[in-house]
Structure formats: structure tokens, C-alpha cells
Amino acid sequence: MPKIGLVTIGQSPRTDILPDMLMILGHQYNVVEAGALDDYTTEEIKNLRIGPRAHILVTRMRDGTEVKVTKDFIVPLIQDRIEQLEDEGVKVILLLCTGRFPEFKSKSLIVTPSEIVRGVINASIRKGRLGVIYPAMEQIAKAEEEWGKEGLEVYADAVSPYGGEGGFKSLAERLSNKKLDLILLNCMGFNYRMKQIILETTGVPTIQSNALVARVLKELV
């Protein structure tokens, strides 16, 4: 049975993400999960100091608690988990985050969702209005820099993937008034039900990042 490695920037297992991905991948793989925060407690992570200019990432602990970490803090921990999975014989490793990261050292194939999502967005919409949904308000300030280009306007908003459906229903109402041509759920934690809430309310094509990445991963394994 082929092995697939999944590295989350939070704690493993990611019972909130993997079911949606397996609907696309199928169950013919041995999925080996590892979490950057597996050796930490929730209290330790919540006590991390985050500076005003830090690059913030949003993830969750094993019990579902949402936490925020910095990119500088998490990158070396991801590298450790990649090496752990390689020692277990994993040849294809997926990073469960749509954020941008430096190149990791590995003999395995490292699949980074940010590049996949960006490629699909660039191929799908050249002009018009793109809605980009982040998991935290602190992340939306750089949306125009990350996604904007000549002829393409960006509307950025945020909602936690770990806070229940209420936040998504409110978000969907806001989005329905923005005259968007395409919506991106820019976090691996956004699931199929969340996509459906937005799609049913807005009628706008909506990209669910983890489903998109799962389709590419299936081609690789």
C-alpha cells in the first residue's frame, strides 16, 4: 500500500481535514500524519510571544483548539517532521498549509499547497474580482500584494475554520454583496460544508484548498 505523508503545522491527527481529502484520494493509501506541534501543549503554544510584524499562521491542536503561531517558529518544526516521515519510508509528503514556506531539505517529494492554489487561481481568473478568505483577520492585510494584479481586484475577508457554521453564514452574506467572480478558501482547514454554505449563498464558484490539493496529490501517488 503506497504511503503518503501529511505534515500539519498544528497537531496530528487532522480529523477535520483528512476525511474530505480521502473522499477524493480514496482509501488505498497508508496515510502517515505528523504535526509540527505534537510535542507541545496548548498552554505552551498560547503563551508564545507574537510580535506585531510576525507572519501569523492559524492552526489547531488535537482537541480542536485554535492556535496562532509564527512562521519563524514553525518552519524548523516542519523540517523535523519531514525528516521523521522520511525515516519511516515516506516518499511523498504533503504540507497541510496554504502559506508560503522556504524550500525544505528532503529526499522525498514535498508537495506545497501554496504553489498549487496559486497556479489554479492564475489559470482561472485573469480579470475581475477575486475573494480570498483567510482564517484570521491579521492575515488579510497582505491579500492585495499576494493575489492582486493588473485587471484583478481582491476582496479579502476572514473567518475561523474552527469556530462553527455561524461565522461562515455571516461571511457568506457579506460575500454575496461584493460582486465576486471567484472565491478562494485560503486555508487547508476550510472543509466541504463550509464551501457549500458560501456557494449556496453567493452562487460564485468557490475553491476549497484541501480538495484541490488532494486532486493533485492523487496524480502524484
Is residue 13 reached through a cis peptide bond, with omega within 30 degrees of 0 on the bond before it? yes
Q: At residue 163, what are phi and psi to the nearest 5 degrees?
A: -110, 10
Cα separation of 131 and 171, whole Å? 11
Cα separation of 137 and 94, whole Å? 26
At 1 the pLDDT is 81
Residue found under cell 475553491: 207
Q: What is the pLDDT along the chain (221 residues), one digit of tens a residue?
A: 889 999 999 999 999 999 999 999 998 999 999 999 999 999 999 999 998 889 999 999 999 999 999 999 999 999 999 999 999 999 999 999 999 999 999 999 999 999 999 999 999 999 999 999 999 999 999 999 999 999 999 999 999 999 888 999 999 999 999 999 999 999 999 999 999 999 999 999 999 999 999 999 999 98
Give yes or no for a contact between 4 and 109, defined as CB atoms under 8 angstroms apart. no
Cα 6 to chain centroid, rounded: 12
CATH T-level assignment (fold) for domain 116-208:
Rossmann fold (3.40.50)
Number of H helices, E strands in the chain: 8, 10
Cα separation of 109 and 92, whole Å? 5
C-alpha cell at 41: 501543549
Q: Tell me if residue 150 falls in helix, strand or coil.
A: coil
Residue type, 148: G
Domain edges within the chain: 3-113+212-220, 116-208
Q: How many CB atoms lie within 10 A of CB 143?
A: 20
| pTM confidence score | 0.94
